Amino acid sequence: MYAIPLSATLDAELRPLEPWQAPEFLAHIDRARANTDPWIPWASGSTDLDSARATLQGYADKQAADTRRIFGIWLDGTLVGGVMFVSFDTRLGNCEIGVWTEAAGQGHGLVTAAVRHLLEYALVERGLQRAEWLSSTLNARSGAVAKRLGMSLDGVLRSYFPHNGIRHDKEVWSMLASEWADSEQRPGR
């Protein structure tokens, strides 16, 4: 197993999330529900150990197919959030990145730091051309992360996504490989 440090001043790491971690994942999602349920359908579907394990197994299967991946963010040894490739298409050269966190993971820059590593992996190591970030226009924290990373707001898809009885407008943010190559946001810069 590997862990990527996310902070020079905090004990924070980015690690793969795997099916055997379902109990820890479920406990985290239970703590994170106020932050995740308004925005993330799969989080509201992880309500017991079997469904949490199924969520993580689904991502493990998609990782084996090289089409999705999921990672956790640990702070002081506790799972407090995560990042994922919602989609990862090497044929088209595109991916979509998604994130979530519980209250204990907010305000430390951990999500932004984790996304930097996903962008580096997708756009440099794997050679994809475009990384997307979709967020509800009602989720200001999500849009702020995309902006902090230097992503471009491509536009808004109106009434794009139904969730919890609301049709959400979705902002589409993107980072191109050519933009990332010169970005001051790259890890180690």
Across the chain, which has 189 residues, the per-10-residue mean pLDDT values are 90 96 96 85 85 96 96 98 97 97 94 97 98 93 94 96 88 97 87
pTM of structure: 0.94
Tell me if 107 sits within 8 A of 82, measured CB to CB.
Answer: no
Whether residue 189 is contained in a domain is answered as: no
Structural domain for 52, as ranges = 4-181
Q: CB-based contacts of 48: which residues, under 8 Å, 6+ apart? A: 26
Separation CA 109–CA 160 (nearest Å): 29
Query: Looking at the 3D structure of the chain, how many domains does it have?
Result: 1
39 belongs to a structural domain = yes
Rounded (5°) CA angle 67-71-75? 170
